Structure 1
Amino acid sequence: MKMIKNAFLLIVVCFLTFSGFSQEKKDSPYETNFVKDGIWIASTVGLNVLGVKIIQEKDNLSLTDLNKLSKDDIWGIDRWAAGYYSEQANEDSYIPFYASFVMPFALLLNENERGNAGQISVLFVETMATTGALFTITAGLVEKSRPLVYNESLETEKRIDSDEQRSFFAGHTAATAAASFFAAKVFNDFNPDSPLKPFVWGVGAAVPALVGYMRIKAGKHFLTDNLIGYGVGAAAGILIPELHKKGNKNLQIYPTASFNQGEYKFASQGLALNFQF
C-alpha cells in the first residue's frame, strides 16, 4: 500500500510539473524554466528520499542515555515543555496541518490563478519538496529527544524509540508554514491591489502557529524546534515564488553539481542562489 501511495504521488508530481511547463501563462507574475525547475524538483525530491533513509536508520535511544537525560540540560526557553505529552493534541494538530495543503488550491477560485494552475502547481511542488528536503536531512542527522521523552510516566519503549529522537526541527510546522505562506504570497502577487491581502497574510501566519502550539502540547517539539520550522517553511513559501517573478534579474538560480563524502556518499545536482547588488 505504501509503495502504491508513493507511486501515485510521483505520478501527480510529474503531471503537475509538466503541465506547468507546457501551459500558456496569461497575466502571470511568474516565469518557469524547464531545465532549472526540473533540476530543482528532481534534486529536492532526491534529497527527501535520502533524508527519509537517514531517519529510518536512526538508532533507538540507549537506556544509559535515557537515564542521563535531565531537564536542567535543556535551554531555559524550552525547558518548560519538557515532559509534555498528549495524544489528543497530536491528533488535533493534523487538522490545520492538512487544511494548509488545501489553501493553495483555494487560489483557483480566482479566474487568473485558475488559468495558471499548472504553473502555480510547479511552484507549490518546489516549495514543499524544498521544505521537505531541509526537514528530512536535518531530522535525520540531528539527535534531539522530543519533550515527551522526558515524561517518566510513559513506557520506556516509547521514550527510547528512534522516532522520538528527532525533535529538531518541527516538520509539521515547517510544512504548514510553507503551504500557507506560499498561498498568501501567490495571492499577493496575483492580486497586488486586493483589500483582502491583510486577511490572507494573517491566516497564512496563524495556521502554522496553531500547528506549532499543538505540537508542543503533544510533546513532539520544543518551542525553538517550532520557531525554526516556522521560519524555514515561511522562507520557502515566500522565496520560491519570489525567485520566479518576472523581471527579477538580481535574484537568480542556476544548475550546480557537487560530490559529498561521508557515511552517505552521493553526487548531487541542484540549483545555486545568486544575488547581485
Structure 2
Amino acid sequence: MAIILGDNQYGKAESRIVRIVRDGPRHEIRDLNVTTALRGPFEQAYLTGDQSNVLPTDTQKNTAYAFAKSKGVDSIEEYGLELARHFVGDVDPVTGARIEIEEFAWERAVVDGSEHDHTWLRKGQDVRTAAVTVDATGEYVVGGLKDLVLLKSTGSEFAGFLKDDFTTLPETHDRVMATALDAKWRFSSVDVDWNDVYPRIKALMVREFATLQSLALQQTLWHMGTAVMEEFPDIVEVRLKAPNKHHFDFDLGRFGVENAGEVFWAADRAYGLIEATLLRDDAPPANDAWRFSAGLA
C-alpha cells in the first residue's frame, strides 16, 4: 500500500484591508477580508520540506494590500480577478489561484440632514462575497452574500408533511418564517458590471421571500434562485443555504393571558437547514470554481 499526496493548496487567510479614497473632500471606503490560495507543483514542500517553489503567504498578503492601492477596489470581483491573474500569470510555478473576499458595507453618517463626507456607520449584518478562480481551464467568478437575515410574520405554511411515530410538529397554515440566507451564484462570463448586478440580485431574493405564499422554505429557495437566473442569463448556477430560524408561540395561557400569534419564542437551536443548487442544463463546466480555500466566499 502506498500513500500519495492529493489535492493541496496554500495561502494567506483573512487579510483585513480597508481602502479609503482620499483624493477629494468626499472620501470613499471599501472594507474587505481577503483570502488567497495558490495551486501548483508544491508537492515537495509537503513531502520533503523543499520551499523552492513556495511563494510565502506573507508575500501574498503584501500583494493583496499593494493591489488595493495600485489597482483599486471598484468591485470585489474585479479586484479578485486582478489578484488571481497576477499570481497565475506572473509567479512561476503557480498554475491556479483562488481568491475569496468578504466585503463589509458602510453607509454615510447623516449630520444635520446631509451625508457626511468622511464618516460612516457600519451597515447591516449581511456580507457581500466573491470567490475568484483563475487556472489553466479559465477564469471563474462566484458572487454571493451571506448572513442576510430575513423574517416575515405571515405568508408561510408548513402542512401535509410525512408523519411517523416520532412526529410531534403540528401542521400550520400561518407561521413566522425567518432565515439567515447564504447565497452564491456562478457567472459564465467575467464581462459583468459587478456593482450593478449585486444589488439587483439581492433585491430579487428579498422580493421572492416577501411576496411568495410559501408552503415550505424549500419552495422559497427555488423561487429565489429561479428569479435570479431568469433575470440574468449569464448566471448559470445558484447555490442557496438557509437555516430555518424557528419562532414558536410562547404559552401564555398558563398565566391566563391569550396569545393569538403575537408573542414568540425565537429558538436558537436545533434548526432546520435547507440547501439547494439550481443549474442551467447547458451550464459550462464549473471545474474548480467551487473548490474553496478558507470557505469564506
Calculate the TM-score normalised by the size of structure 2. 0.25
Larger RCO, structures 1/2 (Cα 8 Å, 6+ apart): 1
Bigger strand fraction: 2
Calculate the TM-score normalised by the size of structure 1. 0.26
Higher gyration radius (CA): 2
